[in-house]
Amino acid sequence: MPEIERLRPDHAGPLLAFEKANRAYFAASVPDRGDAYFAEFEARLAALLAEQDAGICHFHVLTGPDGEVLGRVNLVDAADGSADLGYRIAEHATGRGLATAAVRRVCELAVTAYGLTTLHAVTTVDNTASQAVLARTGFRPTGTVPDLSGRPGLRFVRDLTAEG
């Protein structure tokens, strides 16, 4: 069974392989990271780990039994009890409930490990799979985003102090 792990330096190789293998798949629903992301991956990872150490962000990888990264679930811009949720699952691992399980687990960690009370998320209007994950994990729509990297989007929120 895949596990959620807090991002660590030793995830670098499997994480880069995950991002490269799924680049085109992700770019169909979220903005592409660009060539610089891959060329400067080690420096970018070091910066992310520094943000995590400072408590600004909480990065997680979903790993398989062999250490393969199957997904990411991140909490960014944590402040005043709130953070923004983002996630992505490898194309070959979709349709198995992994995103829902991983988001649920990170919502639990948001409360128990990070002291958060509210999570926000956005997705494009046409990303119905992501909308379904958010709905299944207790997020509710709160409005629209007129321009989410050139596409219309939806805004969601989850009150972590409420049951369900």
| CATH number of the domain bearing residue 105 | 3.40.630.30
- At 163, is the pLDDT very low, low, confident or very high (cuts 50, 70, 90)? low
Give residue 162's pLDDT: 83
End-to-end CA separation in angstroms for the chain: 24
Residue 140: beta bridge partners?
157
71: in domain: yes
pLDDT tens digit sequence for 116-145: 999 999 998 988 999 999 999 999 999 999
138: in domain: no
Q: Whole-model pTM?
A: 0.93
Exposure string of 83-120, with b = 16+ CB inside 10 Å and e = fewer, is: bebbbbbbeebeeeebbbbbbbbbbebbeeebebeebb
101: in domain: yes
100: in domain: yes
Closest CA to 111 of 50, 159, 46: 159
The whole domain housing 8 covers 3-116
Token pair, residue 46, equals: 């070091």
Total count of domains within the chain: 1
Residue 79 has pLDDT above 90, yes or no: yes
140: in domain: no
Pairing of strands 82-89, 118-124: parallel
Residue 59 CA from chain centroid, whole number? 8
Token pair, residue 126, equals: 């046409």
43: in domain: yes
87: in domain: yes
159: in domain: no
Question: What is the enclosing helix (H) or strand (E) of 26?
Answer: helix 23-27
pLDDT tens digit sequence for 25-34: 998 877 788 8
